[in-house]
Amino acid sequence: MTRSPNFFDTEPWVGGVIGLGYVGIPLLVELNKSGLEVVGYDLSRDRIEILNSGSSPVEDVTDDQIKDMLESGAIFTQRTEDLKNVDVIFICVPSPLSRDHEPDLSYIRDAVDTVIEVIRPGMAISLESTSYPGTTEEIVLPALESLGLVLDSDVWVAFSPERVSPGGSLSMSRIPKIVGGVSAESTEVVTAIYRRFIEEVHPVSSSSVAEMAKLLENTYRSINIGLMNEMAQVAHELDIDIWEVIDAAATKPFGFEVFYPGPGVGGHCIPLDPQFLAWSARKADCSARFIDLADQINAEMPVYVADRVIEALDCNGGSLAGTKILGVGIAYKPNISDCRESASVAVLEELERRGAEVFVLDPVVGRASIERIGFKSVQLDDDFSSYSIAVVLTDHDVFDLEQIAAIAPVVFDTRGAYRRSGLTCNNVVTL
């Protein structure tokens, strides 16, 4: 035994994070806040330069928090050797899907290769990147054992899913954390590691349980959002206000969690995470019909929204040629600037495909990002007299909905924003 498993309970160990994104940087902040030394590693020179200049490259961490870390000796580096003295490595790299919806583990494999360069007896490794059940056992552990390292004697290995809520108000230390080791002792050791800076840690019997729990959490969201998207279409055909129905159902104090319909599902969690589970199910020759159906319904919402815009404009023949449309909000969810997989983008592209001239109003995302995505950006004080319709796609708090209802002959609200704000404008049609 090179090091007692209890070392991590009380000793001042050094934490290293591989992958300085919206998960890795908040993790460094929490480690540092608990008085532990930290080393942040990333392949991106730009990202390291931004961090070493005292600026934050992610929305949920402030520049001051970066400066505080630097003042307490944090190291942000591209050099693998700077990880040589760390005792714990948290892997927080992207885990995208390939074009054919297969897990793309290239980032995880690269991170494991970096771990291999610096690993020494006495270290613990925690994979936080979302992946299919079995990843930690099949990718991380064998790489370490191939060096002759012995599990639970030389190294401890676990999976602990990230639970960062982009734009959310809860700090990471307040969000319960699941930990599943590739052995019972690894679960115990890595649980003790997280208990140094997370208030509530929930150990489970294996890394696969932890990997699947993460996927279940977001599959649950995808399916319930898909249900609300389908119910919105049914309610429209029955001429019933789905938003009033949901608010009524939400008065039930048990057995009903509120989800809302929308223009589709964006972000890098909900559209992707369920696909890891579907892929594992297919590999095991069993079906995951709920996952596939929800994904289909959610993915079809942009076309449905375009159909409803045509209905709201009463366009004969379904063409939008000659219409000018204002897209209100392009981020994938309110009050953040992230547009990845944004359904708002898909809606606007569909409207353009049907002949509309589309302009985007989104001060949170900003002109440069809007134009980089390929749309024309407008400001609220521009002239909107020639627009046919405004389509509310992302309801940022910053929007003055009354002003928007005043500038467009018709507003199509895909988020129930006007109802939630208590505004009654007779030119607003809701999904």
Q: Which residues bind ligand SAJ (CB under 6 A)?
A: 162-166, 168, 217-218, 221, 225, 259-260, 262, 265-267, 269-270, 332-333, 343
When the beta carbons of 79 and 340 are compared against ligand SAJ, the nearer one is 340
Q: Residues 6 or more apart from 8 whose CB is under 8 A from it?
A: 87, 88, 124, 189, 192, 193, 196
Query: In whole angstroms, how close is the CB of 267 to ligand SAJ at the nearest point?
Result: 3
Query: In whole angstroms, how close is the CB of 75 to ligand SAJ at the nearest point?
Result: 27
When the beta carbons of 47 and 177 are compared against ligand SAJ, the nearer one is 177
When the beta carbons of 189 and 210 are compared against ligand SAJ, the nearer one is 210
How many whole angstroms separate alpha carbon 345 and alpha carbon 412? 16
When the beta carbons of 214 and 354 are compared against ligand SAJ, the nearer one is 214
Query: In whole angstroms, how close is the CB of 399 to ligand SAJ at the nearest point?
Result: 15
When the beta carbons of 188 and 273 are compared against ligand SAJ, the nearer one is 273
Query: In whole angstroms, how close is the CB of 218 to ligand SAJ at the nearest point?
Result: 5
| 315-323: long-range contacts, CB 8 A cutoff, minimum separation 24 | 318/354, 319/354, 319/355, 320/351, 320/354, 320/355, 320/356, 321/355, 321/356, 322/355, 323/355, 323/356, 323/357, 323/388, 323/389
Query: In whole angstroms, how close is the CB of 175 to ligand SAJ at the nearest point?
Result: 8
When the beta carbons of 320 and 364 are compared against ligand SAJ, the nearer one is 364
Query: In whole angstroms, how close is the CB of 263 to ligand SAJ at the nearest point?
Result: 8
Whether the CB-CB separation of 360 and 396 falls below 8 Å is answered with no
* Active-site residue flag, 92: no
When the beta carbons of 270 and 405 are compared against ligand SAJ, the nearer one is 270
Catalytic member of 92, 269, 315, 339: 269
Query: In whole angstroms, how close is the CB of 144 to ligand SAJ at the nearest point?
Result: 26
Query: In whole angstroms, how close is the CB of 304 to ligand SAJ at the nearest point?
Result: 13
Q: Which of 50, 68, 58 is nearest to 25 (CA)?
A: 58
When the beta carbons of 260 and 359 are compared against ligand SAJ, the nearer one is 260
Residue positions annotated with a catalytic role? 269
